Structure 1
Amino acid sequence: MQSITCENLTKSFKGDGVETFALQNIHVTFQQSDFTAMIGPSGSGKSTLLSIIGTLDEPSNGKVLYGGEHSPRKSNAVANFRFEHIGFIFQQYHLLPTLTALENVLSPVMTRKVDYDKTARAKELLDRVGLAEKAGSLPSQLSGGQQQRVAIARALIQEPDWLLADEPTGNLDSETGEMVFQLLQEIHREKGCGVLFVTHDETLAERADQVVRMVDGKIVSE
């Protein structure tokens, strides 16, 4: 899946007789070879666009093409498509509080049949993000930066084509945020996966291969 193309994407919500647009006529293509930043003020539609690209949400109009093909439409097929191709990283980490770091990394594949040793790969990924010694720790025993690195390892467990990261450094101090950002860059180079990340940080966005700027649900520059 070398590219993701959004064609005429619109997302709107209706309430009290008023239609509010979160996205308006979005046309953009992302390449797997690029490390891409989406930047813009709060409410500009960045996270909405990321959710639609990641098949977590559906547009009101328009379409998303993955390598030139439509995504499946049935819910179980969409879930399988997402599992095989897309890894998510969230600002709030979304780790399961009662599971250890290792178990959190394993959680996407726990109930699935795969052709590799799940635990071995999870341990390898924890080692890759520098947390091998924290495999048995609960999220409450980890710092914010450590929790985000566990979340990155979890997103990589199925070796996705794309990593979608929504404000991955937003809850971190500048030093820890820089470490997480550099880790994402390294993974992009090592794994060959496309990275699309949402950020408010201009200095981070300037270091991306592609920068998409959004205002009021529209792309204003690319």
Structure 2
Amino acid sequence: MGKHTGSETVRGSAALELGSLRYAIGGRTLFEDLDLRLPVGESVAVMGPSGSGKSTLISCALGLVRPQGLVRVAGTDITAMRRRELARHRGAHTGVVFQFGELLPELTPVENVALAGLLAGASRNDAYGDAEKLLAELGVPGAERSTGTLSGGERQRTAVARALINKPALLLADEPTGALDDANRNSVADMLFQVPRRWECGLLVVTHDEQVAARADRVLHLVDGRLRTPAWPPARPRSTS
């Protein structure tokens, strides 16, 4: 891939560190001394009931929510950053995949992915070249058609490519397969959990789906404000790729 704004990462270094995290809203405590270390090259899936704070955990890693405690992304504590500095750091070091992709449906997949690179300062040649390469590697058709005509699985693969174009140290995914049918869910999940090793980043996925979570290197449950290892993690599914 071409020149990018993200920093080079080393396998085993921390993509994300959360330390003694505390956060309460509306009289409810979501996090209480929550800790997590996610190394580059590894994946963690976080499970928990609705309202337990899974999506808020993603927001903390993005700097959209400011809890008490440590939130370190790619080696830098983001909790005290000002808005502009935080936006630059997020663009260079963090990629995000949402449940519904959040793509621009009137643009082609290449245009959607390249746009993220252009906004981060890449040249047009690099942005479009990297976008085409990523989409090919992730199995998205290269036809010049609008993203709105793609299948759900193809849209999510496009969303992953967009999240990866700036070579982030940290990839976040919030219910990334929640809107897909079973076939597309398994295909996208298989692809997503290969990303940390192929693209040298850390992957944090929040999901309610045990079969998706089982693909991660570690499965953690958000219980009473802390991340805990379940006594009986779900069986790892067979790959469909």
Is this a same-fold pair by TM over 0.5? Answer: yes
| TM-score, normalization by structure 2 | 0.82
Q: Is it true that 1:127 corresponds to 2:127 in the alignment?
A: no
What's the offset of the Cα at 1:67? 4.9
Listed one character per residue, the Cα deviations across residues 108-150 of structure 1 (whole Å, up to 9, x for unaligned) are: 222342367111111111111112423x222321111111111
C-alpha offsets along residues 25-52 of structure 1, whole Å, 9 cap, x if unaligned?
2122222231111111111111101111
The aligned residue for residue 70 of structure 1 is 77
Match of 1:212 among 216, 220, 230: 220
Matched, 1:151 2:153: no
Q: Which residue of 2 aligns with 1:5?
A: 17
- 2:132, 2:142 within 8 Å by CA — same for their partners in 1? no
Q: Taking structure 1 as the reference length, what is the TM-score of the superposition?
A: 0.89
The count of aligned residue pairs is: 216
How far residue 68 of structure 1 moved from its aligned partner, in angstroms, is 4.7
Look up the equivalent residue of 1:47 and give its one-letter code: S
Q: Is the 8 A contact 1:44 1:218 kept in 2?
A: no
Structure-2 change in CA distance of 1:93 and 1:22 (3 Å): same
| Residue 42 (structure 1) aligns with | 50
Q: Are residues 111 and 163 of structure 1, via their aligned partners in 2, closer, same or farther at CA, if it must alter by over 3 Å? A: closer
Question: What stretches of structure 1 of length at least 5 have no aligned partner?
Answer: none
Partner of 1:163: 171
Distance 1:68 1:93 in 2: 27
| Alpha carbons of structure 1 residues 133 and 194: separation in structure 2 relative to 1, 3 Å | same
Residue 81 of structure 1 aligns with an amino acid whose one-letter code is: H
Paired letter, 2:140: L
Alignment of 1:103-122 (within 5 A): 103-114=111-122, 117-122=126-131
2 CA distance for matches of 1:170 and 1:38? 14
Contact 2:113 2:158 in 1 (8 A): yes
Work out the CA distance in 2 between the residues paired with 1:69 and 1:119.
30
* Residues 54-101 of structure 1: CA deviation (Å, up to 9, x unaligned): 223221x21212355312611111111111111100001101123221
Between the aligned partners of 1:155 and 1:46, the Cα distance in structure 2 is 20
Distance 1:76 1:174, change over 3 A: same
Identify, as 1 or 2, the structure richer in strand. 1
Regions of 4+ moved over 6 Å: none
Q: Secondary structure at the match of 1:117?
A: helix
The 3-state SS of whatever aligns with 1:189 is helix
